[in-house]
Structure 1
């Protein structure tokens, strides 16, 4: 694999000097690496051969080589917007160091030439978190058993992502504050090192063992894709892009702050936001990305307001957001008893009902195609993709969808909260938001 793209070489030249020597890694990380190198012995130093082909031999002591022949099970998990992901299971030969587990299943992400800086960046963050890993650790390198495509070996997100996780029991503000604090710390760590995520969406927020300990994934991928496109534009999901990204000003750390707030809102409500940011700030009061959550603690909605400021210069930094989250967390000693109020549950029920209606009608009000108004009602985009400046400009400047009868009917449609099905609210309160029964709009 050779690098003809000067952008790839430039990013590698910036990242590789930041790697710590093995003897300067944290003891826990050195031990973790050694455990895997014992499990996957490499007497011929095969890992160095492959890393040289990738131009990153500096990673030799940071990752192990997983021979494709060790896989006892290999299956595709998903096709991402830029790379596919597989799950590979191996039998452990040293079960004692694996807490008695006979097998281990890894996530295996396709590694294209433009993504090699992403590999280095994720290895870099294995040891750069303040107290924990901000990203799902990349621990090794392997190849697809049939195609020999290089694969990054990562921990498997056993509890899925925010997009598909089971939100059982997530019905109190303690869980929300815990997730928000951890996510803010992860992004603050990323920003402190001089990087930004640039593609925050629910599919890139993963959970391994706990549903309140989020990890970032696909860190660095957006920049790799954007650098690979000479025409200019941004990579991501349109409903989750900040307004400045929609208007051709690119994505920055301030864009991550905006995306953080959107993910926090979705963690509570359980559905994606409506519209695109450039449309929402002209449609919703206060120029916010979405409606604030009724019945939420004042600190929660205050953080949404600050992070959703349409002017990136006026948003707080992620370090400041982390401080706000820590203050809220410390002040919330009784949050374990502070479940969502009926007002909050009714709001969640309404928004989930509206989303179910959209899905059943196969419509998408975020009109993220940049086509004529008759084409605005399109199926939801569930994958990140590259969007040219021309397409983003077309989407941002055209608000004619709000005059269409179908949209007016949708926007004016609301639930009478006094008539909300109590069975639905009880289901939300007792069993988690994914157990919400179908709710019909009141005539």
Structure 2
């Protein structure tokens, strides 16, 4: 299986390489001779996302431009205000080099250990349009940024923080951020609301220039495109910025010039890109083109960083040829280790897996096993954070590299996932998880830090989530001495999970189904912001497909209570089944009860909530521990959304775009029928988002009402219903199919799913057609118009 995975991975690499070379026909990257590296984007196609640029936060690519903050015609108060985003070139650059000699470098920057630093020079020019939609007053600002990592903007970086910092971190030297800002909102520390500034580790600029006296308005009523040039002289330690209306020559004099020592400020390996934010005022921050030249520095002592940069940016070597060479090397390595295994029984799997991971584009950091063993105190039980079917997770502390928030040499807390099966299947799980999460970038996803595969041990390293998982706070708060989650936090967590799911389903360059969405896989960072994690079951599906199915073994994956009913028939995971699991999480968060629970004669939370909805008292489902401290409108919104996502027919469940709109309060809650609709399979309307398979031939068409209203609620009407029959497994099944269904399906077909629903044992009335949801956010098309 590992060999087959390698072959498929190499084929995918070739296909990806071919498409990449095409997309770079006009967006070129080259070596710029012996002393510089250049890249050029004359426009931006969505295909460059995740390949050439990293798009994080509220940024996007559409209309041929980088939209650093959202570009939408929808309700501004929901879609345009209080946003922050970043777009960064996908490859980091080495910006300073510690000289081995004892003297100072050319720029006079001293260095530790008796050596000076040589700092790279760079020049960039980009075309930007800061557009005020409908003539509104613009805010807050846009910036060209040098950052230590390609991470999303920190929480709380909206408003005047420009997506760079927040109130807790602003001004800290550990930020290692330099930015040239175009600010359109006057803060107490700003000269006015139309200036350019140089920011070092914070948004209080170290140098500013008011632009109005120069005849430049960043965001005029009538839109104007500007070309912005930024030149940095590493030897002199000086930065200069120039601005002119697009199409005009570069001015002779800069609009801003100031001393700047990047060697003492930024990380050795840093990313170039753009950052922006909006507050209560908003603007569209569009980058239409971008060219850049960066001086090359020696990489002899930089290991994989230099190799990765050379591979990514080298001129004269066709991408397809590089991929073929990698394929030949990997297959050759496979042959060698297989022979070695035959001779001396060596570990084949470890070498193969390591080769495959290193072949991944933009692969994560590789740790040595002994480093992670030391970090976790030899995998001490006291460092254990959690355990699941795929392994044990430990807390640890490692030394950071250039991608770490604190830079190289900093102390970084991590979560180390140690796979429990060091076998062929374990390797497949490991590779499946790594190949998917390697390139995922979203503020509501747990970030992958690195990996290790030594001594037959499979380990993944994630950023540490100090507040644990959502289920710990919902169900173990009292025992652990934690404070109960308040209503505002609960709503924010649900919205964060929805945003992450929308990214996986529709915004990432592949479509990803998570397959194991549940409260224990929703992590909480230091600010209690939701981070969806544990991609051990996640799988990518082809763009023109809608479902994923295991090639071998089959079976229903996931956790009872979160598994959509159609999955028991198709054994396939889809985006619709992810939405079903999300609905279970929503109800869990609002009600403070697990999806599988015993309450008032019901075995599943969804059935109890649906009964309360039918009776017109759905708010009775809200967690009583909140003691009434919740917003009734929002509680009803979440409960109805949870029921809509739990609809037995896959096609009736809302899509993630509609879900995010509902949670942003830009569209009303979905219409939910008073009776829970019957589960019908095969779906009468083709209700799954894929019809590539049908139900198993030995299962006839099944119609069930998945409510549990035959419990205490309907005791007086049981005489009207046909008597159930009891099977050997104590499940009560309908006589029409008893004995014909597979054993794994029987729990689904229990009395809880064959219950009488009407006052006299009648079936519930057919549900009304759901009200149409508002369409997805649409582009303002301002970019195209400009």
TM-score class, shorter-chain normalisation, is 0.5 to 0.7
List per-residue Cα deviations over 1:268-317 (Å, max 9, x = no partner): 333312369x9759965758999944264332222123212111111110
**1:51–1:60 Cα contact (<8 Å) kept:** no
How far apart are 1:125 and its partner, in Å?
Answer: 0.9
Say which of 634, 652, 670 aligns to 1:314.
652
- Asked whether 1:63 is paired with 2:373, we answer no
Match of 1:243 in 2: 565
- Asked whether 1:122 is paired with 2:437, we answer yes
Q: Equivalences for 1:243-282 in 2 at 5 Å?
A: 243-248=565-570, 250-274=572-596, 280=604
Q: 1:182 to 1:230 in 2, by over 3 A?
A: same
- Asked whether 1:73 is paired with 2:372, we answer no
How far apart are 1:101 and its partner, in Å?
Answer: 9.6
How far apart are 1:12 and its partner, in Å?
Answer: 6.0
Deviates more, 1:242-251 or 1:25-34: 25-34
Distance in 1 separating the partners of 2:409 and 2:662: 40
Distance in 2 separating the partners of 1:289 and 1:311: 19
Match of 1:170 in 2: 485
Distance in 2 separating the partners of 1:317 and 1:19: 25
Q: Equivalences for 1:338-353 in 2 at 5 Å?
A: none
Using the size of structure 2 for normalisation, the TM-score is 0.37
How far apart are 1:206 and its partner, in Å?
Answer: 0.8
Say which of 437, 449, 463 aligns to 1:139.
449
Say which of 203, 213, 222 aligns to 2:520.
203
Q: Equivalences for 1:108-119 in 2 at 5 Å?
A: 108-110=416-418, 112-115=426-429, 116-119=431-434
Match of 1:437 in 2: none
**2:396–2:416 Cα contact (<8 Å) kept:** yes
- Asked whether 1:3 is paired with 2:32, we answer no
Distance in 2 separating the partners of 1:14 and 1:183: 34
Number of residue equivalences: 339
Higher Cα radius of gyration: 2
Q: Equivalences for 1:152-163 in 2 at 5 Å?
A: 152-163=460-471
How far apart are 1:37 and its partner, in Å?
Answer: 7.3
How far apart are 1:151 and its partner, in Å?
Answer: 1.5
List per-residue Cα deviations over 1:315-340 (Å, max 9, x = no partner): 11011000110116999xxxxxxxxx
Distance in 2 separating the partners of 1:223 and 1:178: 26
- Asked whether 1:84 is paired with 2:392, we answer yes
- Asked whether 1:24 is paired with 2:141, we answer no
Distance in 1 separating the partners of 2:51 and 2:605: 48
Say which of 333, 355, 373 aligns to 2:730.
373
Question: SS state of the match for residue 4, structure 2?
Answer: coil
Distance in 2 separating the partners of 1:119 and 1:100: 23
**2:731–2:747 Cα contact (<8 Å) kept:** no
Distance in 2 separating the partners of 1:195 and 1:308: 20
Match of 1:103 in 2: 411
Say which of 298, 301, 325 aligns to 2:663.
325
How far apart are 1:137 and its partner, in Å?
Answer: 1.1
List per-residue Cα deviations over 1:17-38 (Å, max 9, x = no partner): 6896775334397532696979
Gapped regions of structure 1 (runs ≥ 5):
332-369, 376-388, 404-443
Which structure: greater strand fraction? 2
Deviates more, 1:14-23 or 1:73-82: 14-23
Match of 2:748 in 1: 396
Distance in 2 separating the partners of 1:45 and 1:160: 33
Q: Equivalences for 1:195-234 in 2 at 5 Å?
A: 195-211=512-528, 213-219=529-535, 221-223=537-539, 230-234=552-556
Question: SS state of the match for residue 3, structure 2?
Answer: coil
**1:288–1:305 Cα contact (<8 Å) kept:** no
Q: 1:42 to 1:267 in 2, by over 3 A?
A: farther
How far apart are 1:106 and its partner, in Å?
Answer: 1.4
**1:198–1:222 Cα contact (<8 Å) kept:** yes
Distance in 2 separating the partners of 1:280 and 1:27: 45
**1:288–1:310 Cα contact (<8 Å) kept:** no
Distance in 1 separating the partners of 2:391 and 2:572: 22
Say which of 179, 190, 193 aligns to 2:493.
179
Distance in 1 separating the partners of 2:661 and 2:14: 29
How far apart are 1:261 and its partner, in Å?
Answer: 1.7
**1:7–1:227 Cα contact (<8 Å) kept:** no
**2:433–2:536 Cα contact (<8 Å) kept:** yes
How far apart are 1:186 and its partner, in Å?
Answer: 0.7
Distance in 1 separating the partners of 2:654 and 2:434: 29
Which structure: greater helix fraction? 1
**1:136–1:155 Cα contact (<8 Å) kept:** yes
Match of 1:189 in 2: 503
Q: 1:285 to 1:66 in 2, by over 3 A?
A: closer
Distance in 1 separating the partners of 2:395 and 2:581: 28
Distance in 2 separating the partners of 1:318 and 1:399: 32
List per-residue Cα deviations over 1:10-59 (Å, max 9, x = no partner): 99669966896775334397532696979xx9855499997873424343
Q: 1:59 to 1:230 in 2, by over 3 A?
A: closer
Q: 1:15 to 1:300 in 2, by over 3 A?
A: farther
How far apart are 1:219 and its partner, in Å?
Answer: 2.6
How far apart are 1:160 and its partner, in Å?
Answer: 0.7
Q: Equivalences for 1:20-59 in 2 at 5 Å?
A: 24-25=53-54, 26-27=87-88, 30=92, 31-32=148-149, 43-45=302-304, 53-59=354-360
How far apart are 1:188 and its partner, in Å?
Answer: 0.5
Distance in 1 separating the partners of 2:385 and 2:268: 23
Distance in 1 separating the partners of 2:552 and 2:364: 32
List per-residue Cα deviations over 1:116-174 (Å, max 9, x = no partner): 13212112212xx3xx2x32111212246xx44132221112111112134625232x2
